[in-house]
Structure 1
Amino acid sequence: MGEAAVPMRPGRDWRSIVRKDVPAGLVNAVISVPDGLASAALAGVNPVYGLYTSVVAPIGGSLLVSTQLMQIATTSASALAAGQAIAAYPGAQRAEAMFLLVLMVGVFLALFGVLRLGRLSRFVSHSVMTGFLSGVAAVLVMDQLAPLVGYQPSGGNELVQLADLVAHVGRFDIATLLVGLGAIAILLGMRRTRFAAAASLVALVLPSLAVAVFGLGSVTLIDDVSPIPRGMPSPALPNLTLLGPQLVGAAAAVAVIIGIQGIGVSQGVRNPDGTPNDASKDLVAQGVANAASGLFSGIPAGGSVGQTALNVAVGARSRWAGVAGGVWMLAIVLIFPGLVGQVPMTVLAALMIMAGVGAIDMGELRSVWRTGIGALLPMVATFAATLVLPIPVAVGIGVVLTLLLFVVSSANDVSVRVLSREPDGRIHESDPPASLPSRATTVLEVYGSLFFAGARRFEEQLPDPAGAVQPAVVIRLRGRQRLGATLIEVLDIYSEAVERAGGRLYLAGLSEDAASQLQRSGKLDPDRRVDILRADDALGTSTARAVDMASAWLANQHRRNDP
């Protein structure tokens, strides 16, 4: 059902936009000020770039998303990954490298969407994502401890830097630390009040005023690190000479991070007009948002869980809330650039630390922990990789680990059962015998995936035809649209073994595609005592037909042996 299918009187759309979406957009813009500044600082570039992102990304993305209430904003995970990706560039080139990276992220996301790759997110296990997101949150907290306390530690990764930080407590700037702790106290104090939505803004403004009023000169401000220019930059193509394999790989990794988080947001939010969400279309929208951000000197952006939840809570009704948020942010950038430069860096660090702590879901960690070793190991491995390796590498490890887990679990989940009919007509399941019985029909049901290792696991559980005399075997393959080469080879070898025992093999319930595959493979020749029975609309029909054929064949063999 499309948007046009929703009955609505002329003009009601615009009244709803003015009454609901424009005010919601203002709230989104106000909250995006601290989030955008903090994310850009986390990425290691001028904090104003986060504000530029908060102008163009919501406008460009909101016009295209299928999940209409999704807020496309700066996120800590993508900012941290982008910051690591450009860390090796000289300081003078870092900003240009960031803009080029963001443009490439947009290209990758759009490509993912066009290729309909949103569905591939189902192959990333929940345990891997839990470990990855928890690791990103932990790295975020450790990374922001330095600006919180006013001391810059040394070290190759966050763990080493944390150790160096702890070893030099005496070098902390007390004023910087107190201002940062004050911001954290405000965030904690307002968390459970009705003013919780404004907590980030209050925590940004009050400590900044305190630094100005009390003249705390040792506290580093945004202007001390990166002066804030007035207005919006003109769109410009980034410096393409900086493009290289490392930057392309990092852009792909950041795009994967944004895509997975965006799909999570898409799955959790319903459209007010009842139209369905399309994860692949949302990938394209986030791609356009990042491409626009790269052209307008911005940082990565994607579907934000927190800001989307806030957008819903404040009463937004359509995609125009996101567009309005970008317009409001444009007004803030044009009118108040000088005030933005007076925000202390320790306050931004406090905001990011609280965001990182809030992103660690202890309930999910406990749930995965209690699920078992199969879920615990990938979670711990991905978490550890995120702490000690660059985020793009950790993402790659998580994806590879997910695929390996899928293959291993699919193989281990294969089971073979013997079906037999009880006197009352019920079908009974039992474990398969080690060897096939002689002059009898054995009906086998197969559960699980039969691709690759699963086919070999299936082969191990098949009853051995050796030693049997004239066994008849029926294998049910209903519901399997395609047969892999390994499974066809396994069935071919088994049919030969059954033939050597003087028996016959029946493959029941095959789809047309599966039967065609067998014919094209040139294996399991019907002349070698193999019968292929195609599936019927009525469940059990082809199996019953196979059993009848096997019974008739056994009776015929009995008559031949005993004339």
Structure 2
Amino acid sequence: MARVVGVLGRWARSRLPERRTFKNDLIAGIPGAISSVPDGMASGVLAGVNPVHGLYASFAGPLFGGLQTSTKLMVITTTSAAALAAGSAVADVPEAARSGAIVLLTLIAGLIMVAAALLRLGRYTRFVSHSVMTGFLTGIAVTKFFDVVSNPSGIDWRALVTGVTALLVLVILARTRLALFGSLLALVVPSAVVIGFGWDSVARVSDVGTIPTGLPMPLLPDPGLFSFELLGGALAVAVIVLVQGAGVAESAPNRGGGRSDADVDFSAQGVGNVGAALFGGMPVGGSVGQTALNVSSGARGRWGAVWSGIWMLVILVVFAGVVGKVPMPTLAAVLVVAAVGSIRPREIGVILRTGPTSQIAIVTTFVATLLLPVAAAVGIGVALSLLLQLNREAMDLSVVELVPGDDGTLREQPAPKTLADGQVVVLDVYGSLFYAGARTLQARLPDPAGAVSPEVILRLRGRTTFGATFFSVVRDYTQRLEAAGGRLYLSGIDRAVSDDWDEDRLAGQGLALEVFPATDTIGESTRRAFDAAERRIVRVTARAEG
């Protein structure tokens, strides 16, 4: 018990504000909180729910998640991808229950992320390729853009003027020193115009849903709103958030070179979502844009993100009434600019030039995102990533022959297609030997048919595990060599693996071969296998002549 208390105490002390970075983080949190007002409301609109859910998520995500992250400058807040995925999942829920459904979805997604962290699944994010994520995010951006421009806030000319004004403010200020406050001014200026001219026909945020005043209070979501569609949406949100979070960790490395831990970041984003759900928020995740703003604002540690959540809470408590007066067309303008900014032609062009595998990945995921529900598109993207990974492993596998030189060195050359009589061939393998890789190895091993007493040494140094497919391939090749009077030798096998490969197990697998464990001297086990193969050829030749 004392040990647990000690560990918790050290964890708590490591999360306290540092004196040397306190001022930087405190000030850096202000621009983040200000930009979270329009971003949070726009995310709520994008998800088809009351903008207040985005506002509440914008304070709870950074506050609860920011204390957990291993990527210290990561900001966990609303993201367009998560908002669109969540909105797609609750689109068929009756409007009266939609707010409760998205909060419950957020809680489920958070619990899934925490479970992923406990199961240490962080390393598997690397299997979702960059091409797939780019195709998915580009599809989301295009969908978001057309959703906004094809569903304007009414046809009233006043609403059109309001939206265009906000759009101009965003575009013009993006090129000035006021870029950090562009989104805020894009709300303030059009709001002043609408209020000043008395344009009551222009829809306001308060028309979509009430913006409560005062301090938000925690409340458990209604479990009666659970459905399998909601669970599928939560899974999609979790995958999107976790993969995006891994990308944020790469874009914002820790100062001083400390490495990020994907599983800790998984947990942090999960805690951020649980916190957001308890306060009526929508899904949150590592945000590329908000993290970049946090860095550019001078944040030095994790409290830059935490302070942005605290400042956001202050804004909600003090200015809730003002937020309700924001015209809805201004949020449409924020979404349009965000959508256009999310499409990166240069990055897409680079991916399209890298080869057919990347082209298939980005185009397939992009089309799936446009035509299918987000949950289905995410599932296709993940499955496609795994298939492409297996295909790449299979295609990248190569087999070379190692030829001993007069000076004792080994020289590489292409592996022979067939084997010759009494020949000792040393083969080395580059690439994965799991699944399709093992089958590719089977196709690239030299053919022993027609040869007499061929001996083959397969060098496997550095490999610590082997799957059933590999055993099947080795068994088949061993039998083909035996039919020709030859034998297979495995060299460089890890000592722990070779200890398990005793005669009984090899016999049970139907394998008749010799295993030479690796030693500290590179090439020693292969040399021993080579000597054993030559001695066997001598014995076989002597018996044949006798």
TM-score category of the 2 structures, normalised to the smaller one: over 0.9
Tell me what 1:61 maps to. 65
- Alignment partners' CA distance in 1, 2:398 and 2:507: 23
2:322 pairs with 1:339:
yes
> Counterparts in 2 of 1:83-94, with a 5 A limit?
83-94=87-98
Q: Which amino acid aligns with 1:89?
A: V
Q: Percent of aligned pairs with the same residue? A: 46
Task: Compare 450-459 and 417-426 and name the one that shifted more.
Answer: 417-426
Q: Which amino acid aligns with 1:84?
A: S
Tell me what 1:381 maps to. 364
Identify if the C-alpha distance between structure 1 residues 249 and 278 changes in structure 2 by more than 3 Å, giving closer, same or farther: same
2:441 pairs with 1:458:
yes
- 1:435 shift after superposition: 2.1
Tell me what 2:202 maps to. 219
Give 2:298's match in structure 1, choosing from 315, 334, 350: 315
Tell me what 1:44 maps to. 48
Give 3-state SS (helix, strand or coil) of 1:523's partner. Answer: helix
- Alignment partners' CA distance in 2, 1:290 and 1:12: 23
Give 1:96's match in structure 2, choosing from 84, 88, 100: 100
Native 8 Å contact 2:475 2:510 kept in 1: no
Give 2:21's match in structure 1, choosing from 16, 23, 26: 16
Identify if the C-alpha distance between structure 1 residues 390 and 13 changes in structure 2 by more than 3 Å, giving closer, same or farther: same
Native 8 Å contact 2:474 2:511 kept in 1: no
Native 8 Å contact 1:498 1:505 kept in 2: yes
- Alignment partners' CA distance in 2, 1:182 and 1:211: 11
Native 8 Å contact 1:68 1:318 kept in 2: yes
Give 3-state SS (helix, strand or coil) of 1:46's partner. Answer: coil
- Alignment partners' CA distance in 1, 2:393 and 2:376: 26
Tell me what 1:164 maps to. none
Give 3-state SS (helix, strand or coil) of 1:276's partner. Answer: coil
Tell me what 2:78 maps to. 74
2:312 pairs with 1:329:
yes
- 1:517 shift after superposition: 4.9
Q: Which amino acid aligns with 1:432?
A: A
- 1:526 shift after superposition: 12
Structure 2 gap segments, 5+ residues each:
1-6, 11-15
Q: Which amino acid aligns with 1:533?
A: F
Deviations 1:42-68 (A, max 9, x none): 111111221111222211111111111
- 1:527 shift after superposition: 11
- 1:423 shift after superposition: 4.2
Tell me what 2:126 maps to. 122
Identify if the C-alpha distance between structure 1 residues 484 and 528 changes in structure 2 by more than 3 Å, giving closer, same or farther: closer
- 1:529 shift after superposition: 5.7
- 1:520 shift after superposition: 8.2
Give 1:173's match in structure 2, choosing from 130, 140, 156: 156
Tell me what 2:490 maps to. 507
Q: Which amino acid aligns with 2:182?
A: A
- Alignment partners' CA distance in 1, 2:380 and 2:447: 40
Tell me what 2:176 maps to. 193
Task: Compare 514-523 and 472-481 and name the one that shifted more.
Answer: 514-523
Give 3-state SS (helix, strand or coil) of 2:412's partner. Answer: strand
Give 3-state SS (helix, strand or coil) of 1:349's partner. Answer: helix
2:262 pairs with 1:279:
yes
Task: Compare 264-273 and 76-85 and name the one that shifted more.
Answer: 264-273
Give 1:109's match in structure 2, choosing from 100, 113, 128: 113
- 1:274 shift after superposition: 4.5
Give 3-state SS (helix, strand or coil) of 1:418's partner. Answer: strand
Identify if the C-alpha distance between structure 1 residues 521 and 129 changes in structure 2 by more than 3 Å, giving closer, same or farther: farther
Native 8 Å contact 1:40 1:50 kept in 2: yes
How many residues align? The count is 534
> Counterparts in 2 of 1:419-438, with a 5 A limit?
419-423=402-406, 426-438=409-421
Identify if the C-alpha distance between structure 1 residues 526 and 348 changes in structure 2 by more than 3 Å, giving closer, same or farther: closer
Identify if the C-alpha distance between structure 1 residues 15 and 401 changes in structure 2 by more than 3 Å, giving closer, same or farther: closer
Identify if the C-alpha distance between structure 1 residues 529 and 52 changes in structure 2 by more than 3 Å, giving closer, same or farther: closer
Give 2:397's match in structure 1, choosing from 402, 414, 436: 414
- 1:13 shift after superposition: 2.7
Q: Which amino acid aligns with 1:412?
A: M
- 1:146 shift after superposition: 4.1
> Counterparts in 2 of 1:202-213, with a 5 A limit?
202-213=185-196
Task: Compare 396-405 and 268-277 and name the one that shifted more.
Answer: 268-277
Give 3-state SS (helix, strand or coil) of 1:446's partner. Answer: strand
Tell me what 2:274 maps to. 291
Q: Which amino acid aligns with 1:306?
A: G
- Alignment partners' CA distance in 2, 1:56 and 1:120: 27
Tell me what 1:238 maps to. 221
- 1:269 shift after superposition: 1.6
Q: Which amino acid aligns with 2:67?
A: L
Identify if the C-alpha distance between structure 1 residues 468 and 85 changes in structure 2 by more than 3 Å, giving closer, same or farther: same
- 1:16 shift after superposition: 3.1
Q: Which amino acid aligns with 2:153?
A: G
Give 1:266's match in structure 2, choosing from 249, 252, 277: 249
- 1:233 shift after superposition: 3.3
- 1:215 shift after superposition: 2.4
Normalised TM-score (structure 2): 0.93
- Alignment partners' CA distance in 2, 1:123 and 1:236: 37
- Alignment partners' CA distance in 1, 2:278 and 2:18: 32
Q: Which amino acid aligns with 1:191?
A: A
- 1:553 shift after superposition: 2.0
- Alignment partners' CA distance in 1, 2:541 and 2:512: 17
Structure 1 gap segments, 5+ residues each:
6-10, 152-171
- Alignment partners' CA distance in 2, 1:455 and 1:524: 21
The CA RMSD measured in Å over matched residues stands at: 2.2
Identify if the C-alpha distance between structure 1 residues 68 and 432 changes in structure 2 by more than 3 Å, giving closer, same or farther: closer
Give 3-state SS (helix, strand or coil) of 2:506's partner. Answer: coil
Tell me what 1:158 maps to. none
Normalised TM-score (structure 1): 0.90
- Alignment partners' CA distance in 2, 1:487 and 1:43: 48
